[in-house]
Structure formats: C-alpha cells, structure tokens
C-alpha cells in the first residue's frame, strides 16, 4: 500500500495551519495565494485550505488529485512537479514530451521521471544525491518512475521528494 508520502504531506498541511494560527505571515501568504477567495481573517483558514495550497505548490489542481496519485488509485495519472524539486534545477536533464521517446533514450545509469505531462531523464547518481535517497532505491524501480507506479518503492521515492519541496 502506498501512503508514506501522503502521510507526510498531511503532516505538512497541519504544520502549515499551525504556523498560520501562530501568526506566521509567510505561511498565511502561501495559503492566500492559492486560495484567493479567502478573506483577510486568518481564523477562516482551515486544514483543507492548507492541503489545497500544498497540492497547488506541487503542481496539482487540488488535494484530491494529489491524494489519488499518492494512494495509487489514479487511473489517469497526472504527476504535477512532485519529482522535480528546487534542488534539481542545477542538474543536467534531458526533457521529453513523449514517454516512449524518453524510455528509448534511457540507459542503465539514468532515471526517467515524470514532470507534469512531460518526462525527464537524469543521471541516477545526481537524483540520489540531490534528494538524499538510500543507495539502491532507484534500482528497485528499474530506473523508471513512470513504469513503477504504483509501488512501495515509488512511494518511498515520492516521500523523499516531499522533503525536497518542503524541507520543514
């Protein structure tokens, strides 16, 4: 069952709400940015607003879409930017709009991962070091985060990506 990454994101949403209740203006602005219909009154902000914010920040239209992906229940998979963290912007990647082309380009030292509706091929060692992945975890998905969905290993890698997006 896949739930490690989702459980962590639920914790992050609860922390975000607590930060807002404690008067953190940056946290408040994050939520207001993704929930424009909220009033200035921070007491109006609820957990579902924080969940929506996290989903939007990960490139998903809403919490339900993110939750569907992370539980393995999504039959039409949209990946958002879950696997592409801000720490990866300096690495050299090869981008593809077509999965079959990306898969054909892939070699044994590389990892193929989704980004929204595109596909990225990167060196496994770069991806591992940027996210702090345990050695050998990428080998368990055979270097392909599209073909390995949904699996326990996929969820484990998604869990590490959550920390790449939201380090606190």
* pLDDT tens by residue, 108-162: 999 999 999 899 999 998 888 888 888 889 999 999 999 999 899 999 999 999 9
Confirm if 103 and 110 have CB atoms less than 8 A apart: no
pLDDT tens for 77-117 read: 689 999 987 766 666 689 999 999 999 999 999 999 999 98
C-alpha span between 103 and 86 (Å, rounded): 24
Query: Average pLDDT for residues 53-74, to the nearest whole number?
Result: 92
Q: Which residue range forms the structural domain that includes residue 130?
A: 79-168
Mark whether 52 and 100 lie in a shared domain.
no
pLDDT at 39 (0 to 100): 81
Mark whether 54 and 88 lie in a shared domain.
no
42 pLDDT band, cuts 50/70/90, is: confident
Mark whether 139 and 155 lie in a shared domain.
yes
C-alpha span between 156 and 162 (Å, rounded): 10
Peptide bond into 118 cis (omega under 30): no
pLDDT at 91 (0 to 100): 66
Mark whether 33 and 88 lie in a shared domain.
no
Which pTM does this prediction carry?
Answer: 0.89
C-alpha span between 16 and 156 (Å, rounded): 23
pLDDT at 167 (0 to 100): 67
Domain count of the chain?
Answer: 2
Mark whether 97 and 168 lie in a shared domain.
yes
Domain boundary among 50, 74, 98: 74
């Amino acid at each position: 069952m896949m739930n490690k990454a989702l459980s962590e994101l639920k914790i992050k949403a609860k922390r975000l709400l607590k930060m807002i209740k404690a008067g953190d203006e940056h946290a408040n602005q994050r939520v207001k940015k993704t929930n424009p219909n909220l009033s200035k009154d921070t007491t109006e902000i609820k957990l579902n607003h924080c969940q929506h914010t996290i989903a939007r920040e990960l490139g998903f239209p809403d919490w339900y879409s993110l939750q569907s992906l992370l539980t393995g229940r999504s039959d039409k998979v949209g990946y958002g930017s879950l696997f592409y963290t801000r720490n990866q912007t300096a690495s050299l990647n090869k981008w593809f709009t077509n999965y079959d082309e990306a898969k054909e380009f892939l070699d044994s030292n590389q990892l193929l991962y989704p980004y929204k509706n595109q596909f990225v091929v990167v060196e496994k060692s770069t991806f591992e070091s940027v996210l702090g992945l345990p050695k050998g975890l990428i080998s368990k998905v055979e270097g392909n985060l599209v073909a390995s969905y949904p699996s326990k290993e996929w969820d484990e890698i998604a869990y590490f990506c959550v920390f790449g997006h939201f380090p606190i």
